[in-house]
């Protein structure tokens, strides 16, 4: 009997050692195969500022935090939206890599699956690991697609507007607070955020409030970045990308900053600013023809997933 017990104990010890060795080898192999340090990607979409009030303002007085953070990041000075310059179309292009003539009222799903859906399928992770957190209720459509092979599948979690689509827009401060709660609770690897206040004040023809919203969102970028770096699961392994869905009419075009939606330079010229462990620091890039649909491919590259359907490319010049 003692011999049997001894044999079982030895067998268990050998199995445990073998399992530990296998786990160590697997972890080592995963580490060696990992191309980038980034494990989490956050895309922050600031809705509707003109570049002339942000990076191209003479002294950049409205974006002091971005200017200071540039030492940790990279900015592309000639980034473009070459599709429809509306909210839903712009957001769709950013996360699918395709310019889509989607309706702007929240009643139409994107034609193609997003990088979030494709990453969820590839990673086999729970859908709480990918989130769409947006001030505008109509952007809840970003968590799904009308593509028959993907519709209703691999859908990221969504927190949109007051209580989903349609329920009305909410304040950006609520969106940021909700984002922080999701980070602490679910620890997602991929998040898309929309902040709407800049666009809302522009449409209301309130210049002073529009400028103040630009300043507030600039502070929000710093706050979000600092918050992410304060979280052990995100510090040193998170990439934050900041862009826009569209700009606004150039001065002298239609009703100027009040609206958007055409092909003028004010509507097309948008921001791309990013920080992360795999990107250049203190860099301004003015070469290349990078555009909105390239964001999805760049996110996919960092996340290690091959993006189907996309017409974009990886923004190689921002990598170290």
pLDDT over threshold 70, residue 121: yes
Of residues 167 and 5, the one with the higher pLDDT is 167
pLDDT digits (tens, 9 = 90+) for 166-225: 999 999 999 999 999 999 999 999 999 999 999 999 999 999 999 999 999 999 999 999
Q: Are 87 and 138 in contact (CB under 8 A)?
A: yes
Among left, alpha and beta (phi > 0; psi -120 to 50; other), residue 61 is alpha
Mean pLDDT of 97-102: 98
292-to-91, 92, 93 alpha-carbon distances in Å? 9, 10, 6
Report how far residue 70's alpha carbon sits from residue 60's, in angstroms, rounded to the nearest whole number. Answer: 12
Report how far residue 93's alpha carbon sits from residue 61's, in angstroms, rounded to the nearest whole number. Answer: 29
Q: What pLDDT, on a 0 to 100 scale, did the predictor assign at position 202? A: 98
pLDDT over threshold 50, residue 22: no
pLDDT over threshold 80, residue 16: no
Report how far residue 95's alpha carbon sits from residue 114's, in angstroms, rounded to the nearest whole number. Answer: 5
Confidence band of 33 (pLDDT split at 50, 70, 90): low
Q: What pLDDT, on a 0 to 100 scale, did the predictor assign at position 147? A: 98
Q: Are 268 and 83 in contact (CB under 8 A)?
A: no
Lowest mean pLDDT among 3-17, 101-115, 117-131, 193-207: 3-17
Residues 6 or more apart whose Cβ sits within 8 Å of residue 248: 48, 49, 50, 202, 256, 257, 258, 259, 260, 266, 267
Among 275, 315, 308, residue whose Cα is nearest residue 292? 315
Average pLDDT, the chain: 92
Percentage of the chain lying above the pLDDT 70 cut: 90
pLDDT over threshold 90, residue 2: no
Lowest mean pLDDT among 32-46, 61-75, 90-104, 255-269: 32-46
Long-range contacts of 179-185 (CB under 8 A, 24+ apart): 179/133, 179/224, 180/227, 182/131, 182/133, 182/157, 183/227, 183/228, 183/231, 183/234, 184/231
pLDDT over threshold 70, residue 67: yes
Report the DSSP pairing between strands 238-243 and 40-46: parallel
DSSP string covering 11-50, please?
Answer: HHHHHHHHHHHHHHHHHHHHHHH---S--EEEEEEE-S--
- How many CB atoms lie under 10 A from the CB of residue 108? 16
Among 103, 119, 122, residue whose Cα is nearest residue 111? 103
Report the DSSP pairing between strands 130-134 and 40-46: unpaired
Q: What pLDDT, on a 0 to 100 scale, did the predictor assign at position 20? A: 46
pLDDT over threshold 80, residue 14: no
pLDDT over threshold 80, residue 40: yes
Confidence band of 299 (pLDDT split at 50, 70, 90): very high
């Amino acid at each position: 009997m003692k011999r049997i017990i001894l044999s079982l104990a030895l067998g268990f010890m050998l199995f445990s050692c073998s399992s530990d060795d296998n786990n160590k080898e697997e972890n080592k192999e995963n580490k060696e195969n990992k191309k980038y340090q980034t494990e989490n990607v956050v895309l922050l979409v600031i809705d509707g500022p003109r570049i002339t009030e942000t990076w191209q303002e003479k002294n950049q007085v409205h974006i002091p935090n971005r200017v200071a953070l540039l030492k940790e990041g990279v900015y592309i000075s000639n980034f473009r939206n070459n599709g429809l310059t509306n909210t839903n179309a712009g957001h769709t292009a950013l996360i699918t890599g395709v310019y889509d003539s989607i309706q702007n009222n929240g009643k139409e799903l994107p034609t193609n699956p997003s990088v979030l859906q494709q990453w969820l399928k590839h990673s086999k992770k729970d859908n709480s690991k990918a989130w769409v957190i947006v001030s505008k209720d109509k952007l809840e459509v970003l968590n799904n697609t009308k593509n028959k092979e993907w519709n209703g599948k691999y859908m990221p979690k969504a927190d949109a507007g007051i209580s989903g689509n349609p329920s009305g827009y909410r304040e950006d401060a609520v969106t940021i607070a909700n984002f922080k709660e999701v980070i602490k609770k679910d620890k997602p690897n991929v998040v898309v955020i929309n902040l709407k206040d800049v666009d809302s004040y522009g449409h209301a023809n309130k210049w002073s409030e529009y400028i103040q919203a630009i300043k507030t969102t600039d502070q929000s970028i710093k706050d979000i970045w600092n918050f992410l770096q304060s979280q052990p699961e995100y510090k040193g392994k998170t990439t934050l990308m900041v862009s826009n869905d569209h700009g606004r009419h150039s001065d002298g075009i239609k009703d100027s900053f009040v609206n958007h939606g055409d092909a003028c330079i004010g509507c097309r010229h948008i921001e791309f600013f990013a920080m992360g462990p795999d990107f250049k620091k203190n860099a301004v890039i003015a070469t290349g023809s990078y555009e909105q649909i390239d964001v999805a491919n760049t996110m996919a590259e960092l996340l290690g997933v091959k993006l189907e359907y996309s017409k974009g490319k990886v923004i190689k010049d921002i990598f170290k």
